[in-house]
Amino acid sequence: MAVREGFRSTSGGLRDCFPLRLYAKAKRLGTWDPAAIDFTRDREDWAALGELERETILSLTSLFAAGEEAVTLDLLPLVLAIARDGRVEEELYLTSFLFEEGKHTELFARFLSEVAGSPPELERYHVPSYRTIFYDELPAAMNRLLTDTSAEALARASVTYNVIVEGVLAETGYESYHESLAANGLMPGLCAALVEIKRDESRHIAYGIYLLSRLVASDAAIWDVIEARMNELFPYALGVVTETFERYEDGVTPFGLEQSAFVDFATSQFTKRYERISKSRGKTLAEIDALAEAETDA
Ligand code: MN3
Ligand code: FE
């Protein structure tokens, strides 16, 4: 590790850049409290749901609860890698990132105990593709950063965490909650929390896209690493959808959910991120910053 040569704060001040602007947004928008969400109506709705509907919400929530815990536990190696690189503006943003993942973990844990009644053995919903991503690939890619902070290792970690887990799987999961609950006027507490979580998550994804874009801007060869990693993991992301739908016998699904709609949704999220990152090839860092600002709704 290099010896410190100085501090940003005392040599010109913090640099105006996209991560610092994301940090400003996080301070305004990321301060909602999971403990303040009112689950009164949710408990009534839960009690009135049919068996199949309940199973569906439980399955989805089991994927989210474990997924949020995983991203909370696995983020620190990235924060450390960024800190060791002296990127203080990015680290300021990342302080909010970990706080928000912690709150998401809290929210789903609350829902499972206070609305769903702490059902046992929720890991039975963790289908094989889910296990590959959350039990193996995510912790491996993130923990590699403890000993290897090369651009290649950073790119593989960020694709796994920000693009596949957040940008494809979480986004597809919100869509599934929306079609099941909000579209049917059910569980207003969880739906209100999901609006906040989704907004937090859009900042996380925007940061990941920025990070990957600046890696490509510094070394065009990193695009090949990103592309290979995206293609390596995308089948597992789709597998989470298709293996989850396999549980429904004779194609009978609750809430009118259709597998093809979610496969299409996941594919469109993947394609959108792929095209967005590929645009950073041949761009300068200033152009990357402007592109991130212009294209994010975070
Ligand atoms: Mn989250
Ligand atoms: Fe996130």
With 90 as the cut, is the pLDDT of residue 252 above it?
A: no
Alpha carbon of 204 to ligand 2 centroid (Å): 5
pLDDT number for residue 297: 59
With 80 as the cut, is the pLDDT of residue 250 above it?
A: no
Alpha carbon of 16 to ligand 1 centroid (Å): 26
Ligand nearest to the backbone CA of 201:
2
- Residue 3: pLDDT band by 50, 70, 90 thresholds? confident
Alpha carbon of 100 to ligand 1 centroid (Å): 7
pLDDT number for residue 253: 86
What average pLDDT score do residues 257-263 get?
Answer: 94
Q: What is the C-alpha to C-alpha distance for residues 211 and 194, in angstroms, rounded to an integer?
A: 25
Phi, psi at residue 86, to the nearest 5°? 75, 20
pLDDT number for residue 245: 94
CA of residue 23 relative to chain centroid, distance: 17
Would you call 147 helix, strand, or coil by DSSP?
A: coil
pLDDT (tens digit, 9 = 90+) per residue, 191-230?
999 999 999 999 999 999 999 999 999 999 999 999 999 9
Alpha carbon of 36 to ligand 1 centroid (Å): 18
pTM: 0.97
Alpha carbon of 67 to ligand 2 centroid (Å): 10
Tokens 């090949």 belong to 224
Ligand nearest to the backbone CA of 206:
2
Ligand nearest to the backbone CA of 197:
1
Ligand nearest to the backbone CA of 34:
1
Q: 10: which 2 tokens? A: 């005392």
In the chain, what are the domain boundaries? 36-295
pLDDT number for residue 294: 87
Q: Count the alpha carbons within 13 Å of 228 in the hemisphere toward its beta carbon.
A: 9
Q: 35: which 2 tokens? A: 């403990």
Superfamily of domain 36-295: Ribonucleotide Reductase, subunit A (1.10.620.20)
Alpha carbon of 72 to ligand 1 centroid (Å): 8
C-alpha distances out from residue 22 to 92, 116, 278, Å? 9, 34, 22
